[in-house]
Amino acid sequence: MSVGQVRIRVPEKAKAGEVVTVRVLVTHPMETLQFKDNKPVMKQYNFIHRVEATYNGRKVFEAEMTQAVSQNPLIAFPVKVTEPGTVKVTFHETTGKTYTGEAQIRF
């Protein structure tokens, strides 16, 4: 599985004013702290530290993550939708790379 695949699941149809649940899975190793001779290895660890979501360009969700979150993190959050549109979720990795996925919510 390639790193950074973002898969989003939203209801196929929603009504105006409805609160829908957006489920997002990202494929990522979420590198954890390594030890050598009982001492933590000092290095740049590669894990997702921030995730943000927009709906039609408007920020609707933002969260911070740490190394304590497991490999291939799954997040779910509610969004109140007033018009049809695109939910866009972006994951920020500690190396500076970002991974983005999109899904359509229709009325």
Partner 1 sequence: MGFDWRGMSRARRTALAAIGAVLVGACAAVGTTVTSKEWQSRASVESQGLLRVVDGKTIQQRYPYGGFGTESFHEWPTYAYGGPEYFPPKKGEMPKNIKGDPKKGHALIRASAKGPCTGCHVIPDATVWPAGNVGPDLRAIGARGLPDELLYQIVYDPRVIYGPDTPMAPFGASGMWTPEEIVHVVAYLQSLKGNPPGQPEKVTDDPHWDPRTRPVVRPDYGDPLDITANPALGFAQDIAVPLWSKAGPKGQSCAGCHGPIAAPDAQRPLGVIASMVGVGARYPKWFAKYSRMMSVEDFLAVHAPETTGHAMPSQGDENLAMSILVRMQSNGMPYAIDLADRNVQAAIKRGEASFYRRVGQRGQACAHCHTARGGGNKFLGGRFLADVEKDTMVNHPYWRTNWLRVIDIRIRMQWCLTPLRANMLAGDAPEYADLETFLVAKQTQRGDRVMVPRLAH
Selected range binding partner 1 among 21-29, 32-40, 45-53, 59-67, rule: CB under 8 A: 21-29
Give the residue, chosen from 13, 23, 80, 106, that forms a contact with partner 1 under the rule CB under 8 A.
Answer: 23
Residue keyed to tokens 């993190």: 73
**Phi, psi torsion values for 46, nearest 5 degrees:** -100, 105
Cα–Cα distances (Å) from 44 to 12, 28, 33, 47, 73, in that order, read 40, 16, 10, 9, 20
Least distance in angstroms from the C-beta of 42 to partner 1:
25
Letters for 72-101 (x = contact with partner 1 by CB under 8 A, - = none) are x-x-x-------------------------
Counting DSSP H helices and E strands in the chain, the numbers are: 0, 9
- Residues binding partner 1 (CB under 8 A): 1-2, 5, 7-9, 23-25, 27, 70-72, 74, 76
